[in-house]
Amino acid sequence: MKTLKLFAVALFALMATGAQAQTEKVTIDGDHGKLQAEIHKPTLKQGERVPMVVLCHGFMGNMQSDLLIKIAELLQERGIASIRFDFNGHGQSEGRFQDMTVLNEIVDAKKVIEYVKALPYVSSVAIAGHSQGGVVAAMTAGELGAEKIKSVVLLAPAAVLRDDAIRGSTMGATYDPFNPGEYVELFRGLKLGAEYIRTAFSMPIYETSAGYKGPALIIHGTGDRVVPYTYGERFHQLWEGSELIILDRADHGFSKQTNEVAASSADFLSKTLLSTK
Protein backbone atom coordinates (compact mmCIF):
# COMPACT_ATOMS: atom_id res chain seq x y z
CA MET A 1 0.00 0.00 0.00
CA LYS A 2 2.85 2.35 0.88
CA THR A 3 4.49 1.66 -2.49
CA LEU A 4 1.19 2.36 -4.26
CA LYS A 5 0.83 5.67 -2.45
CA LEU A 6 4.38 6.69 -3.35
CA PHE A 7 3.71 5.77 -6.99
CA ALA A 8 0.52 7.86 -6.98
CA VAL A 9 2.36 10.87 -5.52
CA ALA A 10 5.15 10.53 -8.09
CA LEU A 11 2.64 10.19 -10.93
CA PHE A 12 0.73 13.27 -9.74
CA ALA A 13 3.98 15.27 -9.52
CA LEU A 14 4.95 14.16 -13.02
CA MET A 15 1.53 15.14 -14.38
CA ALA A 16 1.69 18.52 -12.64
CA THR A 17 5.17 19.16 -14.01
CA GLY A 18 4.03 18.20 -17.50
CA ALA A 19 1.02 20.51 -17.32
CA GLN A 20 3.11 23.38 -15.99
CA ALA A 21 5.66 22.88 -18.78
CA GLN A 22 3.00 23.67 -21.38
CA THR A 23 2.85 27.36 -20.43
CA GLU A 24 5.76 29.74 -20.21
CA LYS A 25 5.93 33.37 -19.18
CA VAL A 26 8.29 35.49 -21.26
CA THR A 27 9.32 39.13 -21.57
CA ILE A 28 9.68 40.78 -24.98
CA ASP A 29 11.07 44.18 -25.95
CA GLY A 30 8.17 46.29 -27.23
CA ASP A 31 7.76 49.80 -28.59
CA HIS A 32 7.40 51.42 -25.14
CA GLY A 33 9.32 49.06 -22.89
CA LYS A 34 9.05 45.43 -21.86
CA LEU A 35 5.98 43.40 -22.83
CA GLN A 36 4.80 40.62 -20.56
CA ALA A 37 3.58 37.53 -22.39
CA GLU A 38 2.57 33.92 -21.87
CA ILE A 39 3.10 31.07 -24.31
CA HIS A 40 0.84 28.02 -24.50
CA LYS A 41 2.22 25.08 -26.41
CA PRO A 42 1.35 21.42 -26.90
CA THR A 43 3.63 18.60 -25.81
CA LEU A 44 6.31 18.42 -28.49
CA LYS A 45 8.51 15.59 -29.67
CA GLN A 46 12.21 16.18 -30.23
CA GLY A 47 12.61 18.48 -33.24
CA GLU A 48 8.86 18.88 -33.78
CA ARG A 49 7.63 22.24 -35.09
CA VAL A 50 4.12 23.65 -34.76
CA PRO A 51 2.21 26.80 -35.80
CA MET A 52 2.08 29.76 -33.40
CA VAL A 53 -0.89 32.14 -33.04
CA VAL A 54 -0.33 35.66 -31.71
CA LEU A 55 -3.38 36.73 -29.67
CA CYS A 56 -4.08 40.47 -29.31
CA HIS A 57 -6.37 41.93 -26.64
CA GLY A 58 -8.49 45.04 -27.01
CA PHE A 59 -8.52 48.68 -25.86
CA MET A 60 -8.12 48.87 -22.05
CA GLY A 61 -7.95 45.06 -21.92
CA ASN A 62 -5.13 42.63 -21.16
CA MET A 63 -3.93 39.12 -21.92
CA GLN A 64 -6.08 37.67 -19.11
CA SER A 65 -9.16 37.96 -21.31
CA ASP A 66 -11.36 34.90 -20.80
CA LEU A 67 -11.94 34.70 -24.56
CA LEU A 68 -8.23 34.75 -25.45
CA ILE A 69 -7.36 32.23 -22.74
CA LYS A 70 -10.08 29.89 -23.99
CA ILE A 71 -8.79 30.17 -27.57
CA ALA A 72 -5.24 29.48 -26.35
CA GLU A 73 -6.37 26.36 -24.47
CA LEU A 74 -8.34 25.01 -27.43
CA LEU A 75 -5.41 25.62 -29.78
CA GLN A 76 -3.11 23.80 -27.38
CA GLU A 77 -5.45 20.79 -27.45
CA ARG A 78 -5.30 20.85 -31.26
CA GLY A 79 -1.50 20.88 -31.39
CA ILE A 80 -1.04 24.61 -32.01
CA ALA A 81 1.00 27.02 -29.86
CA SER A 82 -0.11 30.55 -29.00
CA ILE A 83 1.14 33.62 -27.23
CA ARG A 84 -0.94 36.13 -25.27
CA PHE A 85 0.65 39.43 -24.29
CA ASP A 86 -0.15 42.84 -22.79
CA PHE A 87 0.28 45.78 -25.15
CA ASN A 88 2.30 48.77 -23.91
CA GLY A 89 0.49 50.65 -21.17
CA HIS A 90 -1.80 47.69 -20.47
CA GLY A 91 -1.80 44.92 -17.88
CA GLN A 92 1.68 44.04 -16.65
CA SER A 93 3.61 45.54 -19.56
CA GLU A 94 5.66 48.71 -19.31
CA GLY A 95 4.68 52.09 -20.69
CA ARG A 96 1.89 54.56 -19.95
CA PHE A 97 -1.62 54.05 -21.27
CA GLN A 98 -1.54 57.75 -22.20
CA ASP A 99 1.30 57.07 -24.67
CA MET A 100 -0.44 54.11 -26.34
CA THR A 101 -1.56 54.41 -29.97
CA VAL A 102 -2.78 51.86 -32.48
CA LEU A 103 0.42 52.45 -34.44
CA ASN A 104 2.74 51.61 -31.55
CA GLU A 105 0.58 48.58 -30.74
CA ILE A 106 1.27 47.40 -34.29
CA VAL A 107 4.98 47.76 -33.50
CA ASP A 108 4.42 45.72 -30.33
CA ALA A 109 2.67 43.00 -32.35
CA LYS A 110 5.53 42.90 -34.85
CA LYS A 111 8.05 42.57 -32.01
CA VAL A 112 6.09 39.62 -30.63
CA ILE A 113 5.96 38.04 -34.09
CA GLU A 114 9.73 38.45 -34.49
CA TYR A 115 10.22 36.82 -31.09
CA VAL A 116 8.12 33.74 -31.79
CA LYS A 117 9.44 33.32 -35.34
CA ALA A 118 12.89 32.83 -33.81
CA LEU A 119 11.72 29.99 -31.54
CA PRO A 120 13.06 26.66 -32.82
CA TYR A 121 9.70 24.87 -32.54
CA VAL A 122 7.64 27.43 -34.51
CA SER A 123 6.83 26.50 -38.11
CA SER A 124 4.49 29.37 -39.06
CA VAL A 125 2.70 32.34 -37.51
CA ALA A 126 -0.93 33.45 -37.47
CA ILE A 127 -2.57 36.38 -35.68
CA ALA A 128 -5.93 36.93 -33.99
CA GLY A 129 -7.31 39.96 -32.21
CA HIS A 130 -10.37 41.23 -30.40
CA SER A 131 -11.73 44.78 -30.76
CA GLN A 132 -8.80 47.22 -31.12
CA GLY A 133 -6.59 44.13 -31.11
CA GLY A 134 -8.50 43.09 -34.21
CA VAL A 135 -7.53 46.32 -35.96
CA VAL A 136 -3.91 45.74 -34.92
CA ALA A 137 -4.08 42.17 -36.21
CA ALA A 138 -5.60 43.23 -39.55
CA MET A 139 -3.16 46.07 -40.18
CA THR A 140 -0.16 44.00 -39.07
CA ALA A 141 -1.22 41.23 -41.45
CA GLY A 142 -1.67 43.81 -44.20
CA GLU A 143 1.83 45.17 -43.69
CA LEU A 144 3.57 41.78 -43.39
CA GLY A 145 1.52 39.90 -45.98
CA ALA A 146 0.39 36.29 -46.27
CA GLU A 147 3.95 34.97 -46.65
CA LYS A 148 4.63 35.87 -43.02
CA ILE A 149 1.10 35.69 -41.57
CA LYS A 150 -0.55 32.39 -42.53
CA SER A 151 -4.01 33.05 -41.10
CA VAL A 152 -6.01 35.84 -39.42
CA VAL A 153 -8.99 35.88 -37.05
CA LEU A 154 -10.76 39.15 -36.22
CA LEU A 155 -13.21 39.25 -33.32
CA ALA A 156 -15.46 42.34 -33.33
CA PRO A 157 -12.68 44.39 -35.01
CA ALA A 158 -12.95 48.00 -33.81
CA ALA A 159 -12.36 49.89 -37.06
CA VAL A 160 -14.92 52.33 -35.67
CA LEU A 161 -12.05 53.88 -33.67
CA ARG A 162 -11.23 56.14 -36.63
CA ASP A 163 -14.81 57.39 -36.90
CA ASP A 164 -14.88 57.86 -33.11
CA ALA A 165 -11.80 60.08 -33.32
CA ILE A 166 -13.30 62.11 -36.18
CA ARG A 167 -16.52 62.58 -34.17
CA GLY A 168 -14.55 63.45 -31.05
CA SER A 169 -16.07 60.71 -28.92
CA THR A 170 -14.20 57.70 -27.52
CA MET A 171 -15.64 55.32 -24.91
CA GLY A 172 -18.11 57.97 -23.74
CA ALA A 173 -15.54 60.76 -23.46
CA THR A 174 -16.06 63.73 -25.79
CA TYR A 175 -13.42 66.14 -27.05
CA ASP A 176 -12.45 68.49 -29.86
CA PRO A 177 -10.57 66.20 -32.29
CA PHE A 178 -8.67 69.18 -33.70
CA ASN A 179 -7.59 70.38 -30.27
CA PRO A 180 -7.89 67.52 -27.74
CA GLY A 181 -5.32 68.93 -25.34
CA GLU A 182 -2.61 66.76 -23.82
CA TYR A 183 -5.03 63.95 -23.01
CA VAL A 184 -8.70 63.06 -22.56
CA GLU A 185 -9.96 61.65 -19.27
CA LEU A 186 -11.57 58.22 -19.56
CA PHE A 187 -13.09 56.11 -16.79
CA ARG A 188 -11.01 54.08 -14.31
CA GLY A 189 -8.58 57.02 -14.17
CA LEU A 190 -7.14 56.28 -17.60
CA LYS A 191 -5.99 59.07 -19.91
CA LEU A 192 -6.28 58.86 -23.68
CA GLY A 193 -3.29 60.66 -25.17
CA ALA A 194 -3.63 63.30 -27.87
CA GLU A 195 -1.33 61.29 -30.15
CA TYR A 196 -3.81 58.40 -30.09
CA ILE A 197 -6.53 60.74 -31.35
CA ARG A 198 -4.33 62.43 -33.96
CA THR A 199 -3.16 59.14 -35.46
CA ALA A 200 -6.59 57.49 -35.30
CA PHE A 201 -8.18 60.46 -37.09
CA SER A 202 -6.53 59.65 -40.40
CA MET A 203 -5.53 56.01 -39.92
CA PRO A 204 -5.77 53.94 -43.14
CA ILE A 205 -7.23 50.88 -41.43
CA TYR A 206 -8.84 49.15 -44.40
CA GLU A 207 -6.31 50.42 -46.92
CA THR A 208 -3.42 48.90 -44.93
CA SER A 209 -5.32 45.71 -44.14
CA ALA A 210 -5.97 45.18 -47.86
CA GLY A 211 -2.34 44.09 -48.26
CA TYR A 212 -3.19 40.75 -46.66
CA LYS A 213 -4.29 38.07 -49.15
CA GLY A 214 -4.47 34.95 -46.98
CA PRO A 215 -7.21 33.03 -45.17
CA ALA A 216 -9.23 35.04 -42.66
CA LEU A 217 -12.22 34.66 -40.36
CA ILE A 218 -14.26 37.58 -39.01
CA ILE A 219 -16.73 37.09 -36.14
CA HIS A 220 -19.06 39.89 -35.05
CA GLY A 221 -22.36 40.24 -33.17
CA THR A 222 -25.50 42.14 -34.09
CA GLY A 223 -25.85 43.20 -30.45
CA ASP A 224 -22.46 44.95 -30.41
CA ARG A 225 -23.10 48.52 -29.23
CA VAL A 226 -19.42 49.46 -29.11
CA VAL A 227 -18.53 48.48 -32.68
CA PRO A 228 -21.48 47.92 -35.06
CA TYR A 229 -21.19 44.62 -36.91
CA THR A 230 -21.03 46.45 -40.26
CA TYR A 231 -17.37 47.19 -39.51
CA GLY A 232 -16.70 43.46 -39.41
CA GLU A 233 -18.66 42.98 -42.62
CA ARG A 234 -16.40 45.47 -44.36
CA PHE A 235 -13.32 43.37 -43.58
CA HIS A 236 -15.13 40.41 -45.10
CA GLN A 237 -15.82 42.45 -48.25
CA LEU A 238 -12.21 43.62 -48.31
CA TRP A 239 -10.65 40.16 -48.04
CA GLU A 240 -11.73 37.95 -50.91
CA GLY A 241 -12.38 34.40 -49.77
CA SER A 242 -12.61 35.32 -46.08
CA GLU A 243 -15.20 33.72 -43.82
CA LEU A 244 -17.75 35.75 -41.86
CA ILE A 245 -19.80 34.68 -38.84
CA ILE A 246 -22.49 37.08 -37.65
CA LEU A 247 -23.86 36.09 -34.25
CA ASP A 248 -27.40 37.19 -33.49
CA ARG A 249 -27.55 39.58 -30.50
CA ALA A 250 -23.95 38.89 -29.45
CA ASP A 251 -22.39 41.81 -27.59
CA HIS A 252 -18.94 43.31 -28.10
CA GLY A 253 -17.21 40.95 -25.70
CA PHE A 254 -19.22 37.87 -26.74
CA SER A 255 -20.11 37.51 -23.06
CA LYS A 256 -22.75 34.82 -23.68
CA GLN A 257 -20.97 33.18 -26.63
CA THR A 258 -17.40 32.92 -25.34
CA ASN A 259 -17.17 29.14 -25.83
CA GLU A 260 -18.79 29.30 -29.27
CA VAL A 261 -16.50 32.07 -30.51
CA ALA A 262 -13.40 30.40 -29.06
CA ALA A 263 -14.32 27.08 -30.71
CA SER A 264 -15.02 28.71 -34.09
CA SER A 265 -11.69 30.56 -33.90
CA ALA A 266 -9.72 27.45 -32.92
CA ASP A 267 -11.44 25.33 -35.59
CA PHE A 268 -10.64 27.88 -38.33
CA LEU A 269 -7.02 28.25 -37.22
CA SER A 270 -6.61 24.45 -37.09
CA LYS A 271 -8.04 24.12 -40.60
CA THR A 272 -5.82 26.81 -42.07
CA LEU A 273 -2.59 26.12 -40.17
CA LEU A 274 -2.22 22.40 -39.63
CA SER A 275 -2.38 21.50 -43.32
CA THR A 276 0.75 23.64 -43.85
CA LYS A 277 2.43 22.80 -40.55
The rounded distance, in Å, linking the Cα atoms of 212 and 74 is: 25
Q: Is residue 96 part of a domain?
A: yes
Q: Is residue 13 part of a domain?
A: no
**Contact by Cβ (8 Å): 244, 233:** yes
Q: Is residue 182 part of a domain?
A: no
Instruction: Average the pLDDT over each of 38-42, 185-189, 242-246 and give the range with the smallest value.
Output: 185-189
Q: Please give the single-letter amino acid code of residue 219.
A: I
pLDDT tier, 275 (very low <50, low <70, confident <90, very high otherwise)? confident
Q: Is residue 235 part of a domain?
A: yes
Residue/partner pairs of 165-173 with CB below 8 Å, 24 or more apart: 165/196, 165/197, 165/200, 165/201, 166/201, 170/197, 171/59, 171/60
CATH of the domain at 212: 3.40.50.1820
**Contact by Cβ (8 Å): 67, 261:** yes
53 burial level (CB within 10 Å; 0-12, 13-18, 19+): buried
Q: Is residue 106 part of a domain?
A: yes
Q: pLDDT for 170-209, tens place per residue?
A: 999 999 999 999 999 998 889 999 999 999 999 999 999 9
Identify the domain containing residue 142 by its residue range.
23-158+205-276
**Contact by Cβ (8 Å): 262, 74:** yes
Q: Is residue 216 part of a domain?
A: yes
Q: Is residue 192 part of a domain?
A: no
Q: Is residue 11 part of a domain?
A: no
State the total domains in the chain. Answer: 1
CA-wise closest residue to 32 among 88, 107, 97, 105: 88
Per-residue pLDDT at 7 exceeds 80: no
